[in-house]
């Protein structure tokens, strides 16, 4: 059994067009390493050169933002749902 990774629309073209995929890994870091190995074109959008989360990417395990519960060291289990959510910037109202 695997965790489920939900892929945002903006990343789908670089990740095979899928809305979600099954992923293996015991931490968010391991899951993202698997993803960037499988889809090398998204690495710069997910991770910084030092392996930390890109500042404009929010990652949730179930409904918890991993920045507040362990970052890339956040544990992942088979029943978890991981959501990638790129930050959106806007202009003046």
Model confidence at 3, pLDDT cuts 50, 70, 90, reads very high
3-state helix, strand, coil in the chain (%, to 5): 35, 25, 40
Domains of the chain, earliest start first: 3-86 (3.10.20.30)
- The reported pLDDT for the residue numbered 31 is 96
pLDDT of 72 strictly over 90: yes
Question: In this predicted model, what pLDDT tens digit does every residue of 19-69 receive, in sequence order?
Answer: 999 999 999 999 999 999 999 999 999 999 998 999 899 999 999 999 999
- The reported pLDDT for the residue numbered 2 is 87
pLDDT of 90 strictly over 80: no
Residue 58 to residue 10: CA distance in whole angstroms: 14
């Amino acid at each position: 059994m695997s965790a489920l990774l939900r892929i945002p629309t903006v990343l789908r073209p670089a990740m095979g067009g899928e809305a979600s995929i099954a992923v293996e890994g015991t931490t968010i870091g391991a899951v993202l390493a698997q993803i960037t190995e499988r889809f090398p074109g998204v690495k710069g959008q997910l991770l910084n050169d030092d392996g930390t989360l890109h500042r404009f990417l929010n990652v949730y395990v179930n409904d918890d933002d991993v920045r507040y519960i362990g970052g890339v060291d956040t544990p992942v289990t088979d029943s978890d749902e991981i959501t990638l959510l790129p930050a959106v910037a806007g202009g003046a109202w």
